[in-house]
Amino acid sequence: MSTIKIRAKESKGAVTVKALMKHPMETGQRKDKKTGGKIPAHFIQEVVGKANGDEVITVHWGPAVSKNPYLTFVYSGSKGDKVELKWTDNKGNTDSKIAEVK
């Protein structure tokens, strides 16, 4: 099951991409209430957006981004484009999703 939900819509040559990523985004600063120890850092470090295989955005995040981050961006494109979003976290986990522009 993908952790990414994408919507991409074209209007007057501009495609707006809206994405919600399900991720705990732990900073490494919070304490576990049961053990008293710190919860290890676990956050998305990089998000890459591609349109028809061409990179249109790269985002570098740190531990300060909130849980289940939301990302929106706009690029010049058209209906039928294939938009791919891929994230990589600090533990080496990745996920990606492809959506068609409406």
pLDDT tens-digit map of 25-48: 999 999 999 999 999 999 999 999
Count of structural domains, the chain = 1
- Which residues are 14's β-sheet partners? 11, 76
What is the domain-level CATH number for residue 65? 2.60.40.10
> What share of the chain has pLDDT > 70, as a percent?
99
Res. 52 pLDDT band, cuts 50 70 90: very high
List the domain range (segments joined by +) for residue 24.
4-100
CA distance 98 to 57: 15
Q: What number is the average pLDDT over the span 48-59?
A: 98
- Per the listing, tokens 């061409």 go with 54
Res. 11 pLDDT band, cuts 50 70 90: very high
Predicted confidence at residue 2, as pLDDT, reads 83
